Chain A
Amino acid sequence: DAGVTQSPTHLIKTRGQQVTLRCSPKSGHDTVSWYQQALGQGPQFIFQYYEEEERQRGNFPDRFSGHQFPNYSSELNVNALWLGDSALYLCASSSRRAGGSNQPQHFGDGTRLSIL
């Protein structure tokens, strides 16, 4: 049973570029959340997708956008990259059908994004 998988594992971009990160949720999960974890910090909630719609959003600018596909996989897009976007981006999945907010999230190993 595959867990949460993220691609790519590492990515290097330059300022002003755009990036797309991908996530496949754990089998049986229907909800995907994205987090940004800066060095030495806890994960910061970006947004969550369920039924192909953004359901909740954290305090991130519109440069951060996402998508969820019918197979529950998800993408995180970041436009106009700047140095401060350098971080580990984590995807987490859960199941609303299994109880939603009282269920733990399952995390992928993340994508390490470096902005030069």
Chain B
Amino acid sequence: AQSVAQPEDQVNVAEGNPLTVKCTYSVSGNPYLFWYVQYPNRGLQFLLKYITGDNLVKGSYGFEAEFNKSQTSFHLKKPSALVSDSALYFCAVRDSNRDDKIIFGKGTRLHILP
């Protein structure tokens, strides 16, 4: 069965410092991986995805993520954090062998400290 783990409930980072939000996954086939962000009382907004190709994926708002097949990880990163990056971040996986069912992690709350 496919699954996603976000091991940190909360991550605190000082403004201007690099940030990492961790995600590991488990699927039987090749993974399609996604990161979404959720602001209070809003739906999820798409940040970036990995389907195939380069392991380093660049997305919206300066975020990027690195796909590591051997470690089954897809960590979200940003070189310099902004206070406005404070939000709830979700990693999601879809098994390329299973049509369209997407599994979300439980989320990581990111706090950027001014």
The docked-state distance in angstroms from the alpha carbon of A90 to that of B41 is 11
* CB-defined contacts of A35 to chain B, threshold 8 Å: 104
Bound: A56/B34 CA distance, A: 19
Residue pair A100, B41 in contact (C-beta under 8 Å): no
Chain B CB within 10 A, most for which of A4, A31, A41, A104: A104
Whether the pair B99, A42 counts as a contact (CB closer than 8 A) is no
Q: Please determine whether A58 and B34 come into contact, CB atoms closer than 8 angstroms.
A: no
A101 contacts which chain B residues (CB < 8 A)?
A: 32, 94, 96, 98-100
Give the distance in Å from the alpha carbon of A42 to the alpha carbon of B38 in the complex: 10
Q: In B28-79, which residues have CB < 8 Å from any A CB?
A: 32, 34, 36, 41-46, 49, 51
Q: Looking across the interface, which residue of chain B has its beta carbon closest to that of A3?
A: B43
Assuming the contacts A42-B107, A101-B94, A102-B51, asked whether A90 and B101 have C-beta atoms less than 8 A apart, the reply is no
* Residue numbers in A under 8 Å from B90 (CB-CB): 42-43
Report which residue of B36, B43, B51, B101 has the largest number of chain A beta carbons within 10 angstroms of its beta carbon.
B43
Report chain B residues within 8 Å CB of A58: 101
CB <8 Å contact, A107 and B45: yes
A25 within 8 A of B: no
Interface size class of A (residues with CB under 8 A): 20 to 34
* 20 pairs of residues in contact across A and B, judged by CB atoms under 8 Å: A33-B100, A35-B104, A40-B106, A42-B90, A42-B106, A43-B104, A44-B104, A45-B102, A55-B99, A90-B43, A92-B44, A94-B100, A100-B99, A102-B32, A102-B51, A104-B49, A105-B46, A107-B36, A107-B45, A108-B43
Residues of chain B at the chain A interface (Cβ within 8 Å): 32, 34, 36, 41-46, 49, 51, 90, 94, 96, 98-107
Additional pairs, 17, CB under 8 Å, beyond known A33-B102, A109-B43: A35-B104, A40-B107, A41-B107, A42-B105, A43-B44, A45-B102, A45-B103, A48-B101, A55-B99, A92-B43, A101-B99, A102-B32, A102-B51, A104-B49, A106-B46, A107-B45, A110-B43
